[in-house]
């Protein structure tokens, strides 16, 4: 009972933490997940600790988690992790002499499945923090088949692939898409497994890899990542409108990004000289944007011009909201800035930046808020006023983020106008460069869709 209560408490705190850290978590195909019975969730692993928190908070099941043994490095963490249903996996790259302990790990997996419960495993075996899908290991398939074999193929086990796609894996208030794939019934492999166990394991592992590839916006080569990121920034909205997709719909957004990834990979393979030409144009355009400290969105004709009414609303918001901004800044600046400062100066692995920010942020906010509330209560001596003060802390912090976003956007707008009137020739050249890029991409899109026989919506 104590372990379950600890698990439930940590799960609630984790859900609150990730829903604060991320702007939007979009879960798709939740109806694919079996509501009961043994389930193995297999997921790509771009963001270390964030990944299990996100899957655990969206899948609707109480999970066990398979994790590398190196995090069980002392008595305290072992005690905590055991009660949070985390099971150690002994990887060869960590310590080759410890891999024999995986026998116990496999048996624990069998027990979980035999009791009709679920676990999450990351078949890549490591988290790199980039946009590629690593080599899929056979552990999930071997545990699943082992459990069924031990029960004479009478045990029903579903394997559900999960794809995680981050708009920015390390940035506070970024977006995440969680896509659940169609469950794989392990019993469907009975003939193959009984004929040749090794081949059956390999076939299932390949099916997992194919499913994860379809459920994510990963690239096959890191060399493509820069181009895909640029296309998402410059071209994706125009592409979605052209194809009749809804810009606000996350499923359509995923489809557009997936299409961009496929197109980039096709061009890199079949027309590398055109990719090189585009990269030269793209670098020149982005370098000029950086030099002028401008964002691409301000050169996009689709964004439209700012009306006088819009300017009045923004200016009024900035002026009237300033006192609330100052109040929120005083109460939230230190705990908000500290996690970013700490991660920037002490964390060098991209895949652990986000969880470091989350953990340090939760810790520093709890400590800082506690001190503030104590001091306010002590000096005010007014309980109702203190309660009111407590309820203003988080909303005022959120207002600060919104206020800063509005100020930065308006400042960027003013900078754009200033440069446009002072350096009109340069701005016209930049707009022309953007139009050339867009036209180049439109021509490439038409050629690609014609060759691949893709019909627009």
User: Kind of pairing, strands 118-121 and 157-166?
Assistant: unpaired
CB 38 within 8 A of CB 155: yes
The span from the CA of 138 to the CA of 143, in Å, is 9
Chain centroid, CA 89 distance in Å: 24
Residue 265 to residues 134, 242, 394, Cα–Cα distance (Å): 17, 21, 44
Chain centroid, CA 207 distance in Å? 23
Between strands 175-180 and 157-166, the pairing is antiparallel
What is residue 298's DSSP assignment?
G
The H-assigned helical ranges of 115-235 are 139-150, 190-195, 197-215, 225-234
CB-neighbour burial class of residue 391 (10 A; exposed 0-12, middle 13-18, buried 19+): exposed
Give the start-to-end residue ranges of the domains of the chain.
Answer: 2-215, 222-303+434-451, 308-422
- pLDDT tens per residue, the chain (457 residues)? 467 788 888 888 888 889 889 999 999 999 999 999 999 999 999 998 899 999 999 999 999 999 999 988 888 888 989 989 999 999 988 888 899 999 999 999 999 999 999 999 999 999 878 888 999 999 999 999 999 999 999 999 999 999 999 988 888 889 999 999 999 999 999 999 999 999 999 999 999 999 999 999 998 888 888 899 999 999 999 899 888 999 888 889 999 999 999 999 999 999 999 999 999 999 999 999 999 888 888 887 666 566 778 889 999 999 999 999 999 999 999 999 999 999 999 988 887 899 899 989 989 999 999 999 999 999 999 999 999 999 999 999 999 999 999 999 888 888 888 888 888 888 889 989 999 999 999 999 999 999 987 766 5
- Left if phi > 0, otherwise alpha if psi is -120 to 50, otherwise beta: which for 103? alpha
What is the per-residue burial (b if ≥16 Cβ within 10 Å, else e) of 372-387?
beeebbeeeeeeeebe
Helix (H, G, I), strand (E, B) or coil at 305: coil
Q: What is the pLDDT of residue 298?
A: 80
Sign of CA dihedral 215, 220, 222, 228: negative
- Residue 455 confidence (pLDDT): 66
DSSP string, 24-91: EEEEE-GGGS-SSSEEEEEE--SSTTHHHHHHHHHSSS-EEEEEEGGG--SHHHHHHHHHTTEEEE--
CA 331 to chain CA centroid, nearest Å:
29
Please state, in angstroms and as integers, the Cα–Cα distance from residue 405 to each residue in 11, 229, 364, 434, following that order. Answer: 31, 22, 23, 25
pLDDT score, position 18: 92
Q: Give the total residue count for the chain.
A: 457
- Least Cα distance to 398 among 50, 53, 21 occurs for 21
State how far the Cα of 231 lies from the Cα of 251, in Å rounded to an integer.
18
Q: Angle at CA 409, nearest 5°, toward 404 and 414?
A: 125
How far is C-alpha 420 from the chain's CA centre? 36
Choosing among 3.40.50.1980, 3.40.50.300, 3.40.1130.10, 3.30.450.20, the CATH entry for 2-215 is 3.40.1130.10
Cα(125)–Cα(137) distance, rounded to whole angstroms?
A: 7
Helices 225-234 and 250-270 cross at an angle (nearest 10°) of 130
* Structure confidence at residue 2 (pLDDT): 61
CB neighbourhood size of 399 (10 A): 18
Dist. CA 452–CA 446, nearest whole Å: 10
The Cα 52–Cα 66 span in angstroms is: 10
For residues 217 and 261, the answer to whether their CB atoms sit within 8 Å is yes
The structure's pTM equals 0.86
């Amino acid at each position: 009972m104590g372990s379950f209560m600890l698990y439930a408490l940590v799960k609630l705190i984790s859900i609150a933490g990730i829903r604060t850290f991320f702007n939007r978590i979009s879960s798709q195909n939740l109806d694919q997940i079996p509501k009961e019975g043994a389930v193995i969730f297999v997921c790509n692993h771009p963001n270390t600790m964030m990944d299990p928190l996100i899957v655990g908070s969206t899948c609707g099941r109480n999970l066990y988690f398979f994790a590398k043994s190196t995090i069980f490095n002392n008595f305290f963490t072992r005690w905590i992790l055991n009660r949070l249903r985390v099971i150690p996996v002994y990887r060869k790259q960590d310590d080759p002499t410890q891999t024999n302990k995986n026998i116990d790990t496999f048996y624990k997996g069998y027990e979980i499945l035999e009791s009709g419960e679920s676990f999450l495993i990351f078949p890549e075996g490591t988290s790199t923090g980039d946009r590629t899908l690593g080599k899929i290991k056979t552990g999930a398939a071997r545990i699943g088949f082992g459990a069924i074999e031990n029960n004479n193929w009478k045990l029903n086990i579903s394997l559900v692939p999960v794809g995680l796609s981050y708009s920015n894996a390390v940035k506070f208030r970024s977006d995440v898409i969680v896509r659940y794939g169609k469950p794989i019934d392990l019993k469907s492999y009975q003939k193959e497994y009984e004929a040749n166990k090794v081949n059956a394991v390999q076939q299932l592992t390949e099916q997992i890899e194919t499913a994860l590839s379809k459920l994510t916006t990963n690239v096959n080569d890191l060399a493509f990542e820069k181009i895909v990121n640029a296309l998402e920034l410059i071209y994706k909205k125009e592409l979605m409108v052209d194809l009749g997709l809804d810009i606000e719909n996350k499923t359509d957004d995923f489809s557009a990004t997936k299409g961009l990834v496929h197109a980039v990979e096709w061009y890199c393979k079949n027309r590398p000289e055109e990719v090189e030409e585009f990269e030269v144009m793209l670098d020149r355009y982005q370098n000029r944007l950086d030099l002028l400290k401008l964002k691409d969105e301000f050169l996009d004709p689709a964004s439209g011009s700012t009306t006088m009414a819009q300017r009045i609303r923004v200016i009024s918001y900035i002026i009237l909201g300033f006192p609330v901004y100052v109040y929120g800044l005083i109460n939230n600046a230190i705990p908000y800035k500290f996690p970013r400062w700490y991660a920037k100066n002490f964390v060098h692995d991209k895949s652990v930046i986000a969880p470091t920010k989350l953990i340090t942020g939760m810790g520093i906010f709890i400590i800082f808020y506690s001190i503030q509330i104590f001091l306010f209560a002590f000096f005010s001596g007014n309980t109702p006023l203190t309660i009111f003060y407590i309820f203003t802390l988080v909303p005022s912090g959120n207002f600060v983020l919104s206020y800063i976003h509005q100020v930065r956007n308006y400042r960027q707008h003013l900078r754009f106008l200033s440069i446009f009137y002072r350096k009109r020739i340069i701005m016209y050249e930049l707009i022309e460069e953007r139009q050339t890029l867009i036209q180049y991409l439109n021509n490439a899109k038409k050629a690609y869709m014609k060759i691949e026989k893709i019909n627009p919506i």
